[in-house]
Amino acid sequence: MMRRVLTFIMAGGKGERLWPLTKDRTKPAVPFGGIYRIIDFSLSNCINSGLRRVYILTQYKSASLHRHIRLGWNILASELGEYIELLPAQQRVGETWYLGTADAIFQNVYALEMDKPDEVLILSGDHIYRMNYYSMIDFHRDTEADLTVGVVEVPKENSRSLGVVQVDGDCLVTGFEEKPAVPKTIPGKPDTIYASMGIYVFNSKVLLQELQDDSRRKDSSHDFGKDIIPRMIRKGMRISAYNFLDKRSGCPAYWRDIGTISAYYEANLDLVQVDPVFNLYDREWPLRTYQEQCPPAKTVFAGEEITGRVGLVLDSLVSGGCIVSGGRVQRSVLAPQVRVNSYSQISDSILMEGVNVGRYAKVKNAIIDKDVAIPQGMVIGYDAQEDKKRFFVTDNGIVVVAKGTEIK
């Protein structure tokens, strides 16, 4: 049944609010949780849901993402008609690059015409969550909808960064607003909204017709949330809302739009909790990725020879190839090949691949991107005014050191 479904993953966004992490890469290629890239979560959901025909639409600074997909996701049997295939912007139907989410699909409409699916699943490649897409597709078929929108309950104060969906008692969509300042809340829940997850299931013929109509409109921004869906609502088409719930608890399921540095930082540090909301260790829904072969992580020095020289890791994620050599790491995420040298202190921080922390250095409330060498005695995250002279600092004090920065 899932062979009747064609999947598109939108992976071409700039991720401007994640700068400088997106200085050299598109948002779906940003590392997360030590060993993963953000797009790995959508792709793992696809594989675990039985979806085997997947296109990834790329555009902005896509080299890192292309390499990751080529090395880590060439796993399906092409001789059986299965694939995960990259579709970079190619100007197939005009002289412009992708103008919006709907235009990105329209410019690759030949894939729809070639594959002839019954339904089309459209995903964002920049969210963190676990979801069985088969359940949503089944719901779409049962409700005989033209379009089904995935929604999740979130606090209303998050509305300025999300699409907000209004739903009636029959789970039909009656309204859709992009990033409203004053959102319409869920009836009976005045502090909660239905947020669009950026997940859509279209009947294939409906999608083709809507994309063709939208392409001819000069006043359109060619976006699903801003144009296609509101227009379908005005036309009275049948649009269902699939409420994403945790099947065990019946509560809203875990879903994070990590579109800002603060949201990205918090979602990473959520993982080091004793009982994290999002569990990386669920064997029933495995997460896969590509990573180079590394030796096991290790800690050295127990303070027996030199007092205070102890390699210590507490409440942290530590990836392969890391060496904590006489330093202390607490409530932090270490990507592969990180070295923490003697007498240094790392707390509440994210260190990406290849970071080297010099002796006596102190780092807290920071994100250190790949291949940064922190000099001996350097202090980061303790004095916001000093940090702002050299690095990017958010309003709530998170310090970001960009990839490859030379610190002197």
> What confidence tens digit (pLDDT) does each residue in 7-34 have?
999 998 777 889 999 999 999 999 999 9
Of the chain, the percentage scoring pLDDT greater than 90 comes to 69
DSSP 7-61: EEEE-----GGGTTTTSSS-GGGSEETTTEETHHHHHHHHHHTT--EEEEEE-TT
- Both tokens of 256, joined, read 């994070």
- Both tokens of 234, joined, read 């005005």
More confident residue, 218 or 67: 67
Contact 178, 158 (CB under 8 A): no
The pLDDT value recorded for residue 2 is 59
Does 17 map to a domain? yes
Q: How far is CA 162 from CA 151, 205, 343, in A?
A: 11, 28, 43
Does 407 map to a domain? no
CB-based contacts of 310, cutoff 8 Å, min separation 6: 301, 302, 303, 326, 328
Provide the mean pLDDT of the chain: 91
Does 64 share its domain with 146? yes
- Structure-token match 């829940």, residue found: 189
Does 328 map to a domain? yes
Torsional class of 353: left (φ above 0), alpha (ψ -120 to 50), beta (otherwise): beta
Question: pLDDT category, 170, cuts 50, 70, 90?
Answer: confident
pLDDT at 97 over 90: no
pLDDT (tens digit, 9 = 90+) per residue, 247-293? 888 889 999 988 899 999 999 999 999 888 898 998 889 999 998 89
Number of Cβ within 10 Å of residue 361's Cβ equals 22
Does 337 share its domain with 229? no
pLDDT at 94 over 70: no
Does 261 share its domain with 346? no
Between CA 302 and CA 306 the distance in angstroms is: 9
The pLDDT value recorded for residue 109 is 86
Question: pLDDT category, 95, cuts 50, 70, 90?
Answer: low
Does 228 share its domain with 309? no
The pLDDT value recorded for residue 3 is 65
pLDDT at 141 over 60: yes
Q: Domain span at residue 307?
A: 298-401
pLDDT at 112 over 90: no
The pLDDT value recorded for residue 147 is 97
pLDDT at 1 over 60: no
Question: pLDDT category, 169, cuts 50, 70, 90?
Answer: confident
Does 282 map to a domain? no
More confident residue, 208 or 95: 208
Of 13-17, 38-42, 69-73, 325-329, minimum mean pLDDT range: 13-17
Does 123 map to a domain? yes
| CATH code where residue 40 lies | 3.90.550.10
Does 248 share its domain with 309? no
- Both tokens of 83, joined, read 């694939």
Does 21 share its domain with 145? yes
Question: pLDDT category, 196, cuts 50, 70, 90?
Answer: very high
> How big is the chain by its Cα radius of gyration, in Å?
23
Question: pLDDT category, 91, cuts 50, 70, 90?
Answer: low
The pLDDT value recorded for residue 179 is 87
The pLDDT value recorded for residue 55 is 95
pLDDT at 307 over 80: no
Over residues 389-402, mean pLDDT? 95
Residues in the chain: 408
Secondary structure element (H or E) that encloses residue 125, with its range: none
Q: How far is CA 193 from CA 130, 165, 384, in A?
A: 20, 8, 35
Beta strands in 192-279 (DSSP E): 192-203, 239-243, 255-257
Q: Which SS3 state, helix, strand or coil, does residue 401 take?
A: strand
Does 25 map to a domain? yes
- Both tokens of 75, joined, read 């796993």
Over residues 388-405, mean pLDDT? 95
Return the sign of the alpha-carbon dihedral for residues 12, 13, 14, 18. Answer: negative
DSSP 161-205: GSEEEEE-TTSBEEEEEES-SSPPPBTTBTTEEEEEEEEEEEEHH
- Both tokens of 144, joined, read 């005989």
Does 280 map to a domain? no
Torsional class of 383: left (φ above 0), alpha (ψ -120 to 50), beta (otherwise): beta
**Total domain count, the chain:** 2
Q: DSSP label at 120?
A: E
Break the chain down into helix, strand, coil percent, rounded to 5: 25, 30, 45
Over residues 179-195, mean pLDDT? 90
Between CA 358 and CA 36 the distance in angstroms is: 25
Question: pLDDT category, 77, cuts 50, 70, 90?
Answer: confident
Does 187 map to a domain? yes
For 388, what's the count of Cα atoms within 13 Å in the CB-facing half-sphere? 8
Give the relative orientation of helices 39-48 and 63-72 as an angle to the nearest 10 degrees. 30
More confident residue, 259 or 146: 146
Between CA 152 and CA 245 the distance in angstroms is: 7
| CATH code where residue 366 lies | 2.160.10.10
H helices of 277-375, in order, are none
Does 179 share its domain with 257? yes
- Both tokens of 109, joined, read 């409409």
pLDDT (tens digit, 9 = 90+) per residue, 330-345? 999 999 999 999 999 9
Does 189 share its domain with 309? no
pLDDT (tens digit, 9 = 90+) per residue, 310-325? 999 999 999 999 999 9
Does 198 share its domain with 124? yes
Between CA 228 and CA 290 the distance in angstroms is: 35
pLDDT at 92 over 70: no
Of the chain, the percentage scoring pLDDT greater than 70 comes to 97
